[in-house]
Amino acid sequence: MGNLNVKFGLRDMFLDGVRPVHELAGCVFLNEHRVEIDAQGLKHKELNDLLRKTLLEGITKITVRNVYGQRYIGTRLYRPDPEKKAEITIYRNPGNDLGAFLDGHRIVVYGNAQDGVGNTMDGGEIIVHGRAGDIVAMSMRGGKIMIRDNVGYRAAIHMKEYPGKVPVLVIGGTAQDFFGEYMAGGIVLLLGLNLKENERHKAHYIGTGMHGGVIYLRGRVEEYQLGKEVGVRELDDRDWEIVQRYVGEFSAHFGFSADKILKGKFQKLLPVSKRPYGKIYAY
Amino acid sequence: MYSYLLPEFVVERREERCIRCRVCERQCANGVHSYDAERDQMWAAEQACVGCQRCAVFCPTQALTVRPHPAEYRPNSSWTREKLQDLKKQAETGGVILTGSGNDKPYRIYWDHLVLNASQVTNPSIDPLREPMELKTFLGRKPDTLKIVLHGEDVRIESELYPNIPVATPIVFSAMSYGAISYQAFKSLAMAAKEYGTLFNTGEGGLPAAMRQDYGKNAIVQCASGRFGVDPEYLNCAAAIEIKIGQGAKPGIGGHLPGEKVSENISVTRMIPQGTDALSPAPQHDIYSIEDLSMLIYALKEATNYEKPVSVKIAAVHNVAAIASGMVRAGADIIAIDGLRGGTGAAPKIIRDNVGIPIELALAAVDQRLREEGIRHKCSILAAGGIRCSADVVKAVALGADAVYIGTSALVAMGCTLCQKCYTGKCNWGICTQDPYLAKRLNPEIASQRLINLLRGWSHEIKEMLGGMGINAIESLRGNREHLRGVGLAEWELNVLGVKGAGE
Amino acid sequence: MRVKTSWRSERLLPAKDHEACGLFGVMDITGRRFGGEMAINAIKNIKVRGNGLGGGFAVYGLYPEHKDYYALHIMFQNKSVEAKEKVEDFLVEHFNVVYDEEIPTDPQVNLFCPPLVWRYFVAPKKKGEEHSLPDDDYVVSRVMHINTGIEDAYVFSSGKDMGVFKGVGFPEEIAAYFLLDRLYEGYLWTVHSRFPTNTPGWWGGAHPFSILDWTVVHNGEISSYGTNRRFLEMHDYYCTLYTDTEVMAYAVDLLMRRQGLPIEVVAKIFAPPMWDLIEYMEEKEKKLYTALRMVYAPLLINGPFTVIVARHSEMFGLTDRIRLRPITAGAKGNLVFLSSEEAAIRCVCPDLDLAWTPRGGEPVVVRLHSQDHLLSLNQSV
């Protein structure tokens, strides 16, 4: 291969061949006050161009059909001035980083989501009628995410909160390893609805490095599945209030019986220290 | 446990000069100096002294001398005093030894083995005092070509230009977060950058809301593994966004801002509760691979409507050239490379002193690789880590950098003396502390003026060096290794640097 | 390929590739053959996982009319006629060549420096002592000879009734170039979209990487590469391509073909459970995993990876043990899918019966006439 000395240059897999918005008119249908977009074959940026344009035109109700893997839906809808927030309904499979950096908009997905749902999300709501991939709600700092089924690795990693802003994540199924890793704030409910009678949750290293926030875990989990920075507590009245509230919302979204869910056994996982690594250094 | 450590510094007080004014006592946050009223005498608890020289500088009668403690163990080339002290410290604490600032070990400093050219006879040198001399630099991705349409007198650019940011001089303040440094120091950097027409970098601690309007346009805002203070407004108010992958002082590891430093203001800026540790994970957990980097780059471009260049900062490591190529292909508009001697507010000493490669070699390798692949114009390169003077800047540009990041140099301009105790939060110079009593020692009006003076001085020196080479625009020096020669370097080093030996 | 003849020092080894990628695999577990549309459209869906510097396909059940012969796909760099003559002299000496032809390509598709690509269907022509050598070993050694000894020639596919097509470009361009959607059918397709950080501009550098009927497509960077490579060198596998993937392919060949270990065990060698989880296992399991980790420590594949390995009648997907790279599995009727992203599967098969995310380090094993892939469901979510 040494005898080849031709430069490739660079091919931009995101931007090469992106069509300008006016060429995409054929994918957009105005239906009273709702815009419908057919995303079949649209590139990542093309779909997001259309979403931004629609919102800037003042239309907030948007339905997107035939979504297959388009990324960053909702990400480019930030406006410095407080505008009306969008309500985006998605059919099929939104791609990675759904609602990354989301700024108060609402996204409902009928289908499965992939990795990075609500990555560094600032506010708004994401409702997934299906499952989601890895790092759901990574570094999320505001708003609400509800996933009906299971989630992958490292859900709720490094979620954080500060006064007046507490993110909420509710997962109907179970999660894979490193659930709640590095968690610094926020409220997480893991309901385990699809586990069999007495089957334990799947994740290992739950809450490893956790130093803030709270996880309400419904169902069975063994101590060795928990990170060493996590303590297990019984729920007090205030906890039950929170759990009832979000289980109620969750059930309303997905048509479950809240009472039935609340009958399960809940445990509360808390960080044992706000400073898990305070003692590892020699000053 | 009784400590077996020797003091690091000796404090010598010339009693005949000391007027018992107790300035030294008030200036020292480490509690070294104390006054014994009974004997009317000042005492020094030397084991607490970090050698920051604050007391010596502020002593009105210059009565104080602080210098390394002369006590030595039996000389031993292998088991040096530093190694012995570290062993004892760990035996007493069982901890990871922390340190601050950059690597202080005697790795070869290549800047000091590179010499610059000057015009003689065949090409006139230029006098920058009277002739134009341009340092303006654009940071960002450049297109392969421009499509230009001429309609009579009307000229139109049909190609879409990528976002680029101009800087008045190829010197940018590198990432130092509010939290690692005081608000006053942070603000001083912002003020100086704005005044001089260059950029400062927020680090990963967010940008206080009150500063966004005035200083956003001169800010490179970081999106690091902790995502502290990252919200859509933060991203959109900035000149550019930087994804921090690594830092020269601690490649491959994260950071912990201890809870006691997370004051109310820092808590608001970082958007985390007061008093909790701010933990930056070692990796960004949405980046485990090059195509994931691409995913975050485009997420940030989406979040800012493709209006900002996105920089990616890495520590200089073994395969830096290949990694840089991947970064550019992943969509990075600027790549920042931080070398072995880059500074830090806190890092495990073992990492700081042993991981990474020198910036000079990394920079040369990256520039060369990108050129071989025909994609050098697709990004700007920012070189960081141990840029100490304007000659280092010129040499970096000649090796291929578009601009340099300076951190330590800027801190020194504000008063830092490299005592390496940044992580204690007791910086007597008001730079690396969140103690309001200490921080207010740094007046942003004065400190920013010191920074502006530094930029002005360096820029002038750069112009002199350029003029000497017969160059009147910095872009003609960029990657122009013809103007460099190596002295005292081995064959392989010259090869990596891509420069001839002096006289060759 | 270059042979490791006399590296005076590890220092002189060329730098290894760093790359990351998009992967996709689909298999019909009844063995029914189908065209390339699914593989092509799926990989096109995850185009942004690659950067246009490499793409490739592996197809099984490709040459039923010549299924008893080794199908050698050979590329001649710079369309070198001289190399081709040398290769053909060599083939005639060591094999019975029953049929050969140029692999058809579409000249309309503009790609970077395409080599001349030819295929030969051959049977070993053994002499003397060589008769005691298994056919597979005979073929491997001859393939290595061509790859290391004849300049500008590279055998990139050498199995029976299967073949690899690969090159520099986005995978859909490679597919168009080799007319994959029009000319071929197979019961198992794997495909790879490459995002290298090294750009040798060499068609052989693309994935799948293949030896005999093994093919490997891989995403990630193996941090243990140096350890793995030097261990394999002790077993006479010389890494000549300096890609992570090569290590994986040779390790699979060593453990599965030569040592006869089943994939379920091999997966636990590559991605073993953590010691603190082994602590909680039943005595028998604990003993097994402890032994595996002790004996095969040099083949622990550390760092992020997802890999899809295939051979006849079998395909398996595996990620590293803390799942730093993604994989999704899906099933619909007799079709089983593995992919970097679920959307890629859904866009070619919207109504899956099952879609699941396997646990890190748990292989998804897809076998002809079996439901083994469902075993990974239990551990998955």
CATH of residue C68? 3.30.70.260
Whether pLDDT at A3 is above 50: no
Across B494-502, average pLDDT: 96
Give the count of Cβ contacts less than 8 A between chain B and C: 56
Contact B373, B409 (CB under 8 A): no
Residues C294, C351: one domain? yes
Q: How far is A94 from chain C (nearest CA, A)?
A: 7
Q: Which of residues 229-248 of A touch C (CB under 8 A)?
A: none
More confident position, C148 or B404: B404
Helix axes C81-94, C135-149, angle to 10 degrees: 160
Taking contacts as CB-CB distances below 8 angstroms, the residues of chain C near A111 are: 346
Give the CATH number of domain B137-141+162-501.
3.20.20.70
Q: For residues A85 and A87, what is the distance between their CA atoms, to the nearest angstrom?
A: 7
Residues C81, C71: one domain? yes
Across B42-55, average pLDDT: 96
Tell me, what's the pLDDT at C16? 67
**Do A76 and B303 make contact, defined as CB atoms within 8 angstroms?**
yes
Tell me, what's the pLDDT at C2? 37
Residues C259, C122: one domain? no
Domain annotation covers residue C3 = no
Tell me, what's the pLDDT at C6? 45
Whether pLDDT at A243 is above 90: yes
Count of domains observed in chain C: 2
Across B81-95, average pLDDT: 95
Chains touching A (at least 3 CB pairs under 8 A) are: B, C
**Do A69 and C347 make contact, defined as CB atoms within 8 angstroms?**
yes
Across C37-42, average pLDDT: 97
Residue A42 half-sphere exposure, CB side, CA atoms within 13 Å? 30
Q: How far is B492 from chain C (nearest CA, A)?
A: 12
Tell me, what's the pLDDT at C233? 85
Whether pLDDT at A167 is above 50: yes
Q: How far is A265 from chain B (nearest CA, A)?
A: 30
Residues C47, C74: one domain? no
**How open is the CA angle A97-B233-A185, to the nearest 5 degrees?**
60
Tell me, what's the pLDDT at C245? 83
Q: For residues B373 and B489, what is the distance between their CA atoms, to the nearest angstrom?
A: 27
Contact A46, A19 (CB under 8 A): yes
**Do A3 and C46 make contact, defined as CB atoms within 8 angstroms?**
no
**Do A101 and B96 make contact, defined as CB atoms within 8 angstroms?**
no
Q: For residues B325 and B375, what is the distance between their CA atoms, to the nearest angstrom?
A: 8
Tell me, what's the pLDDT at C240? 67
Comparing CB atoms, the residue among C18, C220, C324 nearest residue B326 is C18
Q: Point out the domain boundary residue: C143, C160, C177.
A: C160
Across B121-147, average pLDDT: 92
Across C84-106, average pLDDT: 97
**Do C195 and B373 make contact, defined as CB atoms within 8 angstroms?**
no
Taking contacts as CB-CB distances below 8 angstroms, the residues of chain B near A13 are: 294
Contact A174, A193 (CB under 8 A): no
Across C55-66, average pLDDT: 96
pLDDT range class, residue B273, cuts 50, 70, 90: confident
Per-residue pLDDT tens digits for B280-327: 998 999 999 899 999 999 999 999 999 999 999 999 999 999 999 999
Q: How far is C257 from chain A (nearest CA, A)?
A: 30
Four-CA torsion C356, C361, C367, C372, nearest 10 degrees: -60
Q: Which of residues 180-209 of C touch B (CB under 8 A)?
A: 195-199
Dump strand ranges (E) for B218-292: 219-223, 240-244, 255-257, 278-280
Span between the terminal Cα atoms of chain A, in Å: 53
**Do A114 and C341 make contact, defined as CB atoms within 8 angstroms?**
yes
B409-416 contacts at long range (C-beta below 8 A, 24 or more positions apart):
B409/B454, B410/B173, B410/B174, B410/B176, B410/B189, B410/B451, B410/B454, B411/B176, B411/B181, B411/B185, B411/B343, B413/B450, B413/B451, B413/B453, B413/B454, B414/B185, B414/B188, B414/B442, B414/B447, B414/B450, B414/B451, B415/B442, B415/B447, B415/B450
**Do B272 and A122 make contact, defined as CB atoms within 8 angstroms?**
no
Comparing CB atoms, the residue among C50, C51, C221 nearest residue B289 is C221
Which residues in chain B are classed under CATH 3.30.70.20? Answer: 9-95
Q: For residues B41 and B38, what is the distance between their CA atoms, to the nearest angstrom?
A: 8
Taking contacts as CB-CB distances below 8 angstroms, the residues of chain A near C322 are: 153, 177-178
Across A253-257, average pLDDT: 96
Tell me, what's the pLDDT at C92? 96
Residue A80 sits at the chain B interface (C-beta within 8 Å): yes
Q: Residue C26 corresponds to which amino acid? A: V
Mapped onto helix, strand or coil, the DSSP state of residue C347 is helix
Comparing CB atoms, the residue among A8, A11, A112 nearest residue C342 is A112
Whether pLDDT at A111 is above 90: yes
Complete domains list, chain A, with CATH:
18-77 (no CATH), 96-271 (2.160.20.60)
Whether pLDDT at C157 is above 90: yes
Across B66-79, average pLDDT: 95
pLDDT range class, residue A273, cuts 50, 70, 90: confident
Residue A268's nearest CA partner among A222, A214, A193 is A214
Across C213-231, average pLDDT: 90
Tell me, what's the pLDDT at B259? 85
Per-residue pLDDT tens digits for C308-343: 999 999 999 999 999 999 999 999 999 999 999 999
Residues C261, C145: one domain? no
Residue C48 sits at the chain A interface (C-beta within 8 Å): yes
Residue B311's nearest CA partner among B212, B239, B375 is B239
Sign of the alpha-carbon dihedral angle for B456, B460, B465, B470: positive
Residues C231, C248: one domain? yes
Domain B9-95 fold: Alpha-Beta Plaits (3.30.70)
Whether pLDDT at C238 is above 80: no
Residue C286 sits at the chain A interface (C-beta within 8 Å): no
**Do B276 and A119 make contact, defined as CB atoms within 8 angstroms?**
no
Minimum CA–CA partner of A153 in chain C:
C323
Residue B47 sits at the chain A interface (C-beta within 8 Å): no
Neighbours of B385 (CB within 10 A): 32
Contact C11, C238 (CB under 8 A): no
Residue for token digits 């779909």?
A: A47
pLDDT range class, residue B26, cuts 50, 70, 90: very high
Residues C49, C79: one domain? no
Per-residue pLDDT tens digits for C254-282: 999 989 999 999 999 999 999 988 999 99
Domain annotation covers residue C9 = no
Beta bridge mates, B355:
none
Residue C160 main-chain phi, psi, to 5 deg: -95, 140
Q: DSSP secondary structure string, C190-224?
A: EEEEEEESS----GGGSSPEEETTEEEEEEE--TT
Across B244-273, average pLDDT: 90
Q: For residues B329 and B141, what is the distance between their CA atoms, to the nearest angstrom?
A: 11
- Contacts with B44 (C-beta within 8 Å, 6 or more apart), sequence order: B11, B13, B32, B33
pLDDT range class, residue C3, cuts 50, 70, 90: very low
| Mean pLDDT, chain B, integer | 95
Longest dimension (CA), chain B: 93
Per-residue pLDDT tens digits for A20-31: 999 999 999 998
Tell me, what's the pLDDT at C5? 45
Among A79-83, A155-159, B292-296, B446-450, which is the least confidently predicted range? A79-83
Is C113 in the active site? Answer: no
Q: Quote the domain boundaries for residue C129.
A: 63-160
Across C365-374, average pLDDT: 94
Taking contacts as CB-CB distances below 8 angstroms, the residues of chain B near A46 are: none
Tell me, what's the pLDDT at A7? 63
Residue C221 sits at the chain B interface (C-beta within 8 Å): yes
Per-residue pLDDT tens digits for B470-497: 999 999 999 999 999 999 999 999 999 9
Comparing CB atoms, the residue among C49, C53, C199 nearest residue B291 is C49
pLDDT range class, residue C201, cuts 50, 70, 90: low
Domain annotation covers residue C295 = yes
Residues C44, C127: one domain? no
Whether pLDDT at A82 is above 90: no
Across C218-243, average pLDDT: 84
Comparing CB atoms, the residue among B288, B295, B298 nearest residue C304 is B288
Residue for token digits 């989880």?
A: C277
Residues C154, C69: one domain? yes
Domain annotation covers residue C6 = no
Q: For residues A109 and A122, what is the distance between their CA atoms, to the nearest angstrom?
A: 19
Q: For residues C337 and A34, what is the distance between their CA atoms, to the nearest angstrom?
A: 36
Contact B375, B329 (CB under 8 A): yes
Which residues in chain B are classed under CATH 3.20.20.70? Answer: 137-141+162-501
Q: How far is B320 from chain A (nearest CA, A)?
A: 19
Beta bridge mates, B166:
B138
> Is the pTM for the entire model greater than 0.90?
yes
Residues C341, C209: one domain? yes
Residues C94, C219: one domain? no
Tell me, what's the pLDDT at A24? 96
Q: Point out the domain boundary residue: C102, C131, C160.
A: C160
Among B82-86, B357-361, C82-86, C112-116, which is the least confidently predicted range? C112-116
Domain annotation covers residue C2 = no
pLDDT range class, residue B101, cuts 50, 70, 90: very high
Q: How far is A71 from chain B (nearest CA, A)?
A: 8
Taking contacts as CB-CB distances below 8 angstroms, the residues of chain C near A175 are: 381
Q: What CATH number is given to the structural domain containing C253?
A: 3.60.20.10
Give the count of Cβ contacts less than 8 A between chain A and B: 154
pLDDT range class, residue C19, cuts 50, 70, 90: low
Residues C114, C156: one domain? yes
More confident position, C223 or C20: C223
Q: Point out the domain boundary residue: C160, C180, C198.
A: C160
